[in-house]
Amino acid sequence: MVYPLFLDDEHEMLRDQIRRFVAEKVHPAADQWEKDGCVPREILREMGELGFLGIRYPEEYGGSAMDTRATVVLAEELGRSTYAGFAITALVHTDMASVHLFNAGSPEQRAAHMADVVAGRKIVAVAVTEPDAGSDVKGIRTTARREGGDFVLNGSKMFITNGVHADLYCVAVKTETGGPASRSVSMILVEKDTPGLSVARVLDKTGWRSSDTAELSFQDCRVPAENLLGAEGQGFYAIMRNFQNERIVLAAMTMGEAQAALDLTLDYVKTRAAFGAPLWSKQAIRQRLAMLSARVAAARAFVYATAARDAAGEEVVKEVSMLKALCGELVNEVMYDCVQFHGGTGYMRGTTIERMARDARVQSIGGGATEVMLEEVAKRL
């Protein structure tokens, strides 16, 4: 289903290109990535060569200078791949991590890294979450103490996507600004192999198995003061600002997942016989899948409408928070029923729907838990 009110031919061409890439490069190999626990870097470089990693960035860095609507197309189609671990690996790089470098980076920082980021030669992670601080960004404890011309970082970060194999880390830290908590958070760029930065643990997740996720440790990790991203004490606002982009991307990704699960289940129930007839002949199953299809279509239209408004420069904080809550819950409802209608097969490791159900569970948690999102909506009602 195409939404001509929100998209144009360029967006649909992008969609077709991504679908071909997924069919040719992802589907034949991604089961092995799930076993390996990461997406091969050569795949990300191929995505960079095709322009998928620089959709929103200027042409001077090799990007396409498109807007939020193109990002939503990318996120939806990567979600539709059925391999959410692969999808989130790419989307963290494009829309959750490298944006801090681009938005707040100095001309020198951009010149040093952005072309490689867009080409997939350097992969980026964002390190905000800690063992005791997730959605409450002001509660982070990792510190960056100024010593001469350097910052010295100490602390730890948890659940960091791309954390094992990233080349660049955009790290949220507490700096000594002397102001309120919201004005003591700064963002600092830390390069791979910087002494004092280490992967404390490779985390073993229920889903998103092909997404490498780590606990990071900073022990007297010394970085030049010029690695500060933006002004000191402005990191909290940078993180809050990008949450809107991050959450609309996650909402689009979940709708790609949900639609793929429905398509898979429709094919299954129309061919799987029970009591002498296909499962599709059972009214309860037909009607449940019909209702879920309607709700996914409605949520997807809401995603695109919000993306179009964001691209036009409108304020959409309330709508994005609604989307994150709505889509994160809806995709799990879809997966629950799709597993149910697959019967015992849906509970077996090695089946697509079982993997998708595991992957989807985190969508109501990561990037802003449903309960946090609903509070953000309630504040604006």
Return the active site residues. Answer: 246
CA-CA distance, 104 to 231, in Å (whole number)? Answer: 8
CA-CA distance, 110 to 172, in Å (whole number)? Answer: 19
* Dihedrals phi, psi of 313, to nearest 5 degrees: 85, 15
CA-CA distance, 24 to 265, in Å (whole number)? Answer: 23
Pairing of strands 185-191, 213-224: unpaired
CA-CA distance, 205 to 88, in Å (whole number)? Answer: 14
CB neighbours of 240 closer than 8 A, spacing ≥ 6?
137
CB neighbours of 262 closer than 8 A, spacing ≥ 6?
289, 292, 293, 296, 334, 338
Amino acid at 80: R
CA-CA distance, 233 to 178, in Å (whole number)? Answer: 10
Rg (C-alpha) for the chain, rounded Å, is 21
Residue corresponding to tokens 């760029």: 189
Neighbours of 291 (CB within 10 A): 11
CA-CA distance, 159 to 366, in Å (whole number)? Answer: 10
Residue corresponding to tokens 């309607």: 294
Contact 306, 369 (CB under 8 A): no
CA-CA distance, 51 to 110, in Å (whole number)? Answer: 18
